[in-house]
Amino acid sequence: MRIVLPVLAAALFWAAPLAAQQAATPEQVAAAALEAAPVWDGHNDVPWQLRHRYDNMIAGFDFHDTQAQGEGTPLETAMHTDLPRLRAGRVGAQFWSVFVPVTLVPEAEAVQATLEQIDVTRRLIAAYPDDLQLALNADDVEQAMAAGKIASLIGMEGGHSIGSSLAVLRQLYALGARYLTLTHSANTPWADSATAAPEHGGLTGFGKQVVREMQRIGMLVDLSHVSEATMMDALDVAAENGGAPVIFSHSGARAVNGHARNVPDAVLTRLKDNGGIVMVVALPAYVSEASRQHAAARAAERARLEALWAGQPDQVTAGLAQWDAANPEVLATVSDMADHVDHIRRVAGIDHIGLGADYDGMPTGPVGMEDVSGYPALFVELARRGYSQADLEKIASRNMMRVLRAAEAYAAAHAGDPPIEGE
Active site residue 45: yes
The active-site residue out of 225, 294, 343, 352 is 225
42 phi and psi angles, rounded to 5 deg: -90, -10
Q: Which of 80, 160, 200, 250 is catalytic?
A: 250
Which residue, 154, 153, 156, is CA-closest to 135?
153
d(CA 176, CA 90): 24
SS3 labels along the chain: CCCHHHHHHHHHHHHHHHHHHHCCCHHHHHHHHHHHCCEEEEEECHHHHHHHHHCCCCCCCCCCCCCCCCCCCCCCCCCCCCHHHHHHCCEEEEEEECCCCCCCCCHHHHHHHHHHHHHHHHHHHHHCCCCEEECCCHHHHHHHHHCCCEEEEEEEECHHHHCCCHHHHHHHHHCCEEEEECCCCCCECCECECCCCCCCCCECHHHHHHHHHHHHHCCEEECCCECHHHHHHHHHHHHHCCCCCCEEEEECECCCCCCCCCECHHHHHHHHHHCCEEEECCCHHHHCHHHHHHHHHHHHHHHHHHHHCCCCHHHHHHHHHHHHHHCCCCCCEHHHHHHHHHHHHHHCCHHHEEECCCECCCCCCCECCCCHHHHHHHHHHHHHCCCCHHHHHHHHHHHHHHHHHHHHHHHHHCCCCCCCCCC
Q: Contact, 203 vs 190, CB < 8 A?
A: yes
Measured CA to CA, the distance from residue 42 to residue 62 in angstroms comes to 23
Residue of 41, 43, 200, 381 marked active site: 43
The verdict on whether 358 is a catalytic residue reads yes
Identified catalytic residue from 184, 200, 294, 343: 184
Annotated catalytic residue, options 157, 233, 339, 381: 157
Catalytic one of 45, 233, 371, 393: 45
What is the distance between the alpha carbons of residues 81 and 132, in angstroms, rounded to a whole number?
Answer: 13
Q: Which residues contact 20 (CB under 8 A, 6 or more apart)?
A: none
250 is annotated as an active-site residue: yes
Q: Answer yes or no: are the C-beta atoms of 248 and 201 closer than 8 Å.
A: no
- The catalytic residue among 107, 222, 358, 393 is 358
Give the catalytic positions in this structure: 43, 45, 157, 184, 225, 250, 358
